């Protein structure tokens, strides 16, 4: 059954938000405007599906009434099965759209990839993962902006942080956080033995300034020379910023921008994202273990996926999915994995919802 009263209430709220967003006092209030825009985006799919459902249901009722008319009966009998199927499809779509949304789904993200166990091989794998996400971002027409990187001697990276902006970035990449494991024969291995290495991925929703207040007295700012590529100017100018948030001990670095001011702004973005992630993780700890484990917690200590080169195999351990297209996935073909994870998550939400209603 479609909850008509609830849908009518949500449609009314959607119309109210559209009117509010046109008011000058709201348009000039960045925090309120952002909050209302996010709420409208969350409601849009539900409201559009409900409008379609209402229209199809109206046509169905008209056709059922037309069965009593000898001249219209034949046409109505042809249309009714199609309309009933369409109504059922829209009811399923509404049910999915009504599932609890992650408030971060519409946000951009900070992605942080670090080499784990395995030395230089782990650093090479971390670089592979960053390239994989960068290529996926290209396919999605997202923008990837490098914030900081720490190169490794053999050509990989010890750590890389980037900002990814675009449409529903967090919604697509939210389940990528955790430990990624690779099994392959390193180029330096003369005996042909398979080595296992790891890299960790953190996916942090971008935080607005109005959401995360940072007191200047809680910051320790250090200006240093940038260590990345870029010629003499990069290494001789004290443009890099190291930022420490004293209450939490969180430290961030930004060196890819041309000036101290730009690097400080980027470092503050990273810090806000990390503080928001910490606050949301603390909130999640209060949620039942069953819900947290629907597709894993996203913690960096959790092994989520194995990339096995000899078998051309990728296994996502959270949902038991195995695919044999490793090269394509590492070239950015992540859709199958991402869609499977999202579908599993939705199925678990529906199960929990039905159990609650029962």
Among 234, 73, 39, residue whose Cα is nearest residue 149: 234
Give the pLDDT of residue 334. Answer: 96
Give the pLDDT of residue 227. Answer: 59
Give the pLDDT of residue 235. Answer: 47
Q: Average model confidence (pLDDT) for the chain? A: 85
C-beta of residue 105 within 8 angstroms of C-beta of residue 171: yes
Give the pLDDT of residue 229. Answer: 44
Give the pLDDT of residue 50. Answer: 94
Choose between 182 and 107: higher pLDDT.
Answer: 182
Q: Please, which contacts does 251-256 make with residues 24 or more away whose CB atoms are closer than 8 Å?
A: 252/148, 252/161, 253/148, 254/147, 254/148, 255/148, 255/226, 255/227, 255/228, 256/146, 256/147, 256/148, 256/149, 256/226, 256/228
Give the pLDDT of residue 237. Answer: 62
Q: What is the mean pLDDT of residues 118-144?
A: 95
> Helices in 67-176 by DSSP H: which ranges?
73-97, 119-139, 169-173
Say which CATH topology domain 109-206+299-357 has: Alpha-Beta Plaits (3.30.70)
Strands of the chain, DSSP E:
109-115, 143-151, 157-165, 178-184, 195-205, 219-224, 240-245, 250-254, 303-308, 313-316, 321-323
Least confident of 19-33, 91-105, 112-126: 91-105
Choose between 343 and 180: higher pLDDT.
Answer: 180
C-beta of residue 45 within 8 angstroms of C-beta of residue 97: yes
C-alpha span between 23 and 1 (Å, rounded): 37
* Burial group, residue 358, by CB count within 10 angstroms (0-12, 13-18, 19+): exposed
C-alpha span between 102 and 123 (Å, rounded): 32
Question: pTM here?
Answer: 0.68
C-alpha span between 241 and 147 (Å, rounded): 11
Choose between 352 and 16: higher pLDDT.
Answer: 16
The confidence band for 61, taking pLDDT boundaries of 50, 70 and 90, is very high
Cα→Cα distances 269→34, 130, 169, 254, Å: 17, 20, 16, 10
C-alpha span between 142 and 164 (Å, rounded): 7
C-beta of residue 326 within 8 angstroms of C-beta of residue 307: yes
Q: What 8-state DSSP symbol labels residue 153?
A: T
Q: What is the mean pLDDT of residues 1-30?
A: 90
Among 306, 316, 307, residue whose Cα is nearest residue 338: 316
Options 3.40.50.2300, 3.90.1580.10, 3.40.30.10, 3.30.160.20; CATH of 216-283: 3.30.160.20
Among 132, 137, 138, residue whose Cα is nearest residue 180: 132
Residues 6 or more apart in contact with residue 313 via CB below 8 angstroms: 306, 307, 322, 323, 324, 326
Residue range 217-236, pLDDT digits in tens: 888 888 887 654 444 444 45
Q: What is the mean pLDDT of residues 95-103?
A: 78
Give the pLDDT of residue 293. Answer: 54
- Name the range with the highest mean pLDDT among 38-47, 115-124, 132-141: 132-141
What is the chain's length? 358
Residues of the chain with CATH 3.30.160.20: 216-283
Backbone φ, ψ for residue 75 (5° rounding): -65, -40
Per-residue three-class SS string for 5-58: HHHHHHHHHHHHHHHHHCCHHHHCCHHHHHHHHHHHHHHHHHHHHHHHHHHHHH
C-alpha span between 288 and 302 (Å, rounded): 18
Give the pLDDT of residue 90. Answer: 92
Residues of the chain with CATH 3.30.70.1660: 109-206+299-357
Residue range 264-277, pLDDT digits in tens: 888 888 888 888 87
Among 121, 93, 138, 128, residue whose Cα is nearest residue 197: 121
Choose between 30 and 165: higher pLDDT.
Answer: 165
Helix, strand or coil, per DSSP, at residue 157: strand
């Amino acid at each position: 059954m479609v909850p008509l009263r609830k849908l009518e209430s949500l449609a009314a709220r959607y119309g109210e938000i559209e009117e509010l967003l046109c008011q000058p006092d709201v348009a000039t209030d960045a925090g309120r405007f952002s909050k209302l825009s996010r709420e409208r985006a969350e409601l849009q799919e539900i409201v559009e599906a409900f409008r379609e459902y209402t229209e199809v249901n109206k046509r169905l009722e008209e056709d059922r009434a037309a069965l009593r008319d000898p001249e219209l009966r034949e046409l109505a009998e042809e249309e009714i099965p199609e309309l009933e199927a369409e109504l059922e499809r829209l009811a399923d779509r509404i049910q999915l759209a009504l599932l609890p949304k992650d408030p971060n789904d519409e946000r951009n993200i900070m992605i942080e990839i670090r080499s784990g166990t395995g030395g230089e091989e782990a650093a090479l794998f971390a670089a592979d993962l960053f390239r994989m996400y960068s290529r996926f971002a290209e396919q999605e027409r997202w923008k990837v902006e490098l914030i900081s990187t720490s190169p490794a001697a053999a050509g990989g990276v010890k750590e890389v942080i980037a900002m990814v902006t675009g449409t529903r970035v967090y919604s697509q990449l939210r389940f990528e956080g955790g430990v990624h494991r690779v099994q392959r024969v390193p180029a330096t291995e003369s005996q042909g033995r398979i080595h296992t290495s790891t890299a960790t991925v953190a996916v942090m929703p971008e935080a607005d300034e109005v959401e995360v207040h940072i007191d200047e007295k809680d910051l320790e700012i250090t200006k240093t020379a940038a260590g990345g590529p870029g010629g003499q100017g990069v290494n001789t100018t004290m443009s890099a910023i190291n930022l420490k948030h004293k209450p939490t001990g969180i430290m961030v670095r930004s060196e890819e921008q041309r000036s101290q001011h730009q690097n400080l702004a980027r470092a503050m973005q990273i810090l806000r994202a990390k503080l928001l992630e910490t606050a949301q993780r603390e909130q999640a700890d209060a949620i039942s273990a069953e819900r947290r484990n629907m597709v894993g917690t996203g913690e960096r200590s959790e092994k989520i996926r194995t990339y096995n080169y000899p078998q051309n195999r990728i296994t996502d351990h959270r949902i038991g999915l195995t695919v044999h297209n490793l090269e394509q996935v590492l070239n950015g073909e992540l859709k199958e994995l991402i869609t499977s994870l999202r579908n599993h998550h939705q199925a678990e939400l529906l199960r929990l919802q039905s159990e609650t209603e029962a």
